[in-house]
Structure 1
Amino acid sequence: MPEPSRPQQRRRGRFFRGFAAFVVLCAVAGYLVVQYITAGTGAPGCEVASGKGDGVAYEFTPEQAVNAATITAVGTGRGLPERAVTIALATALQESGLRNITHGDRDSLGLFQQRPSQGWGTEKQIMDPTYAAGEFYEHLVKVSDYAELPLTVAAQRVQRSGYPEAYAKHEPDATVLAAALTGSSAATLTCEGRPEATLAAGPQGVREALVRDFGGDALDTTADEVGAAEASPAPKPTVSGRTVTVPVKGEVKGRSVRERGWQLAHWAVANASALHIQRVTYAGREWTAGNTQSEWRPTSSEGTGGAERGTGSVRILTAQ
C-alpha cells in the first residue's frame, strides 16, 4: 500500500491542528459563558431557603441579590403586599435574570426590559433599578385585583410580552425570595459576602444605599426623646466607626417590627459583596461574611443590651 504523499500529510496535519484549536475555542467560550451567567468564580454566592422547613431553596449571584433586594424595598416602601413583590421578582427573573442589562429586544433595557419608546422613561432612568421597579409597581397596581390573579396573568398585563406564559416558571423561586426579602421569613438568606474588587464602600456607603432603596421605610418612624417638635419624624440610620445602626420601631404600612427588621437584615446580607459588609446582627441572630453555608447564629449576650438582642435595631458592620 503506497504511503501518503507529503501534501496529504500536510493537509491532515492542518486538519488536526485546526480541529484541536476549534475544541480549545469551544472550551474557552463555554467557560466565558458560565462565568457570565454565574458572575464569576465561586458563584452563585447567595442562597435563600424556604422558611417552611420544606427544603426548598434558591441559589443566586450577588448581583441578582442586590437587584432583588432593591425591587423588594421599592415595593414595601409603597405599602404593597408580598404578592406584589413576588410578581415583580418573577417578572425580572424572566426578563433579565435579575441583571440590569443594557440590551434587549429592540430598545428594551434593564431589569424589566422596559422600552423608552413605549413611555417607560429615558434610558438613564430605566437603567436605575429603583426607578425601574417603581415604574413596574406603578403599572401593576392599575391591574384590577392583581393579587388574586395567576402570577403570569398579572405580570403579562404589565409587560405585554410575546411570551405570556413564561413568568409562571419563576414563581417558586420568586416566592421564596419575596418571603425572605420582605422579612416575613426570618434568617433565611445568606451570601458569601466576598467583596467586589471594583467597588469600595464603608458605613457611609451603606447608609446612602439604605436611604436610596428604602427611603422613609428604612428609618424609625417614632420621635426621639427631645420631643416631637424638635425631633426628626424619621431619624436616619446612625454611623459609629464601621457600624451602621438602623432603628426598627413601630409598625409601618401594615408591616410588623419583626418583618421590617428582617427585611433590613436580609437587605444588608444581599448587599454584602457590593458594600463590603462583614457582619449583620438582628433579633439575637448574627450573619458573618464567609460562604453560602454560613448560618444566622445566636449572638453572645455579653456586652449586649436587651434592645440589641431584641428587635429594636439592625446593626451592620462594614469591613472598612
Structure 2
Amino acid sequence: MRALLALTSLLAALVLAGCTEDARDALRPSRTGCYFTTGIGETHLSSEQASNAATIAAVGLRDGMDERAVAVAITTAFQESGLENVDYGHDDSLGLFQQRPSMGWGSEAELMDPVYASFKFYEKLRRTDGWEDMTLAQAAQAVQVSAYPELYEQWEERATVIAAVFAGGNGSGIGCVKGNAPEVAADPAVLAEAFAYHWGAEVSEVDETTVVIDPDDAAEGWNRAAWAVARSYDFSIASVAYGGMVWAAGEDGWVEPDAEDHGEAAVAIANDSHAAVIITFAAA
C-alpha cells in the first residue's frame, strides 16, 4: 500500500511540475480500436464494432442500398447490440439487430451470421414506404418496432460518420490500431472468400501474402479499402494501400509513403494502388 501511495504521489508531482512530453506519452493510455474521421465529425469504435459495421455497410452496398440506408442500419445495430454480434437478448432476440427466430427473421444460426442478419434488415427497410424521408431513428423504428423508439436517436450522429466512411467513399477516413480477434484467420485466401461473401464480387488476385481488389472507381476503391482496414482485427492484416496512400496497423493512420521511411517497395505499391486496393499480410 505504501509503495502504491508513493507511486501515486510521484506521478502527481510529475504532473504538477510540468513533466516532459515523453513522460506524458508514457502516462497516456494506449489508443485502441478504430478511429473514423470525416468532414461532418469523428468517432471511435472498438475493433470488433468496426468489423461488424464494415460488414453491415458492405452488404447494403452489395444489395443496392445507399449511404443513408447504411446509416440507418448502423444506428439500429448500435442500439440493439452495441454493434456486437451477441448470442442473447430479450426473449429469443440475438445477433447484431436482435432479430427473433420466432418472428420469422431466420434461424438462430442464420441470425448469428452478420451478413445474413444485415441482408434481412435491409430487406425490410427496402419494403418500408417512405423510409428515405424519415430520420435515421424513425427508419430504424419502422423496421424494428421497438418499445423504446426514442433510444435510436442517440446514435444518429455517430452512425452518419461511420456510414460516410464505409459507404461514401470518404477517402482515408478510417485508421485502426493493431489488435487481434480471439481467433485470427491470417490467411489471404480466407479474406478473399469473405470479400466475395460480403460484396458479391471476386478479388482480382490472391497469393500467400497479398489480396488485390480492382474497384470500378475511386469511391468504390475507398469503400473496399475501408472495409479491409476494419477487417485487420479479424485477419491480422499488415497494410492496405490505395490512392497513393498506405495504412499500416498502428497510430499513424494513412500516410504517403516515402522510400526513406517505408522502402521503395512500399512506394511502388502505393503508387500502383491508384488502380487497385492492395492488402498485405505479415509474413508468417
The normalised TM-score by structure 1 is 0.74
1:211, CA displacement in angstroms? 1.0
Following superposition, the deviation at residue 88 of structure 1 comes to: 0.2
Q: 1:278 to 1:306 in 2, by over 3 A?
A: closer
Query: Do the aligned partners of 2:57 and 2:70 also contact (CA within 8 Å) in 1?
Result: yes
Q: CA deviation at 1:113?
A: 0.3
Q: 1:308 aligns with which of 254, 269, 272?
A: 272
Q: Which runs of 5+ in 2 are unaligned?
A: 1-28
Q: Identify which of 226, 247, 250 aligns with 2:214.
A: 247
* 2:96 paired residue among 111, 114, 117: 111
> Which residue in the other structure is 1:265 paired with?
225
Aligned letter for 1:319?
A
Give the whole-Å Cα distance in 1 for the aligned partners of 2:269 and 2:58: 28
TM-score normalised by the chain length of structure 2: 0.83
> Do 1:183 and 1:261's aligned partners in 2 also have CA atoms closer than 8 Å?
no
Q: What are the Cα deviations for residues 95-122 of structure 1, in whole angstroms up to 9, with x where unaligned?
A: 0000000111111000000000100000
SS of the residue corresponding to residue 281 of structure 1 reads: strand
The alignment covers a number of residue pairs equal to: 249
- Aligned: 1:159 with 2:144: yes
Whether 1:145 and 2:130 are equivalent positions in the alignment is: yes
Q: 1:80 aligns with which of 65, 76, 88?
A: 65
More helix by share: 2
User: What's the CA shift for 1:195?
Assistant: 2.6
Deviation at 1:318, TM superposition (A): 0.9
In the superposition, relative to structure 1, how do residues 77 and 278 fare at CA in structure 2: closer, same or farther (>3 Å)?
A: same
User: How far did residue 258 of structure 1 move?
Assistant: 1.2
Deviations 1:195-236 (A, max 9, x none): 3353232211211111121112xx4xxxxxxxxxxxxxxxx3
Q: Tell me, what secondary structure is at the counterpart of 2:211?
A: strand
Q: In the aligned structure 2, how far is the partner of 1:144 from the partner of 1:58? A: 31
CA displacement at 1:309 relative to structure 2: 4.4
User: Equivalent residue of 2:212, what SS?
Assistant: strand
Choose which of 261, 281, 284 in structure 2 pairs with 1:318: 281
Do the aligned residues in 2 keep the contact of 1:244 with 1:316 (CA within 8 Å)?
yes
Distance between the aligned counterparts of 2:139 and 2:270, measured in 1?
44
RMSD across aligned C-alpha pairs, in angstroms? 1.9
Shift of 1:44: 4.2
C-alpha offsets along residues 46-90 of structure 1, whole Å, 9 cap, x if unaligned?
11012x1x6x21111111011000000000001111000000000
5+ residue gaps in structure 1?
Answer: 1-40, 220-235, 250-256
Identity of aligned residues (%): 40
Rounded to whole Å, the distance in 2 between the matches of 1:300 and 1:163 is: 52
1:70 paired residue among 35, 50, 55:
55
1:296 and 2:254 are equivalent in the alignment: yes
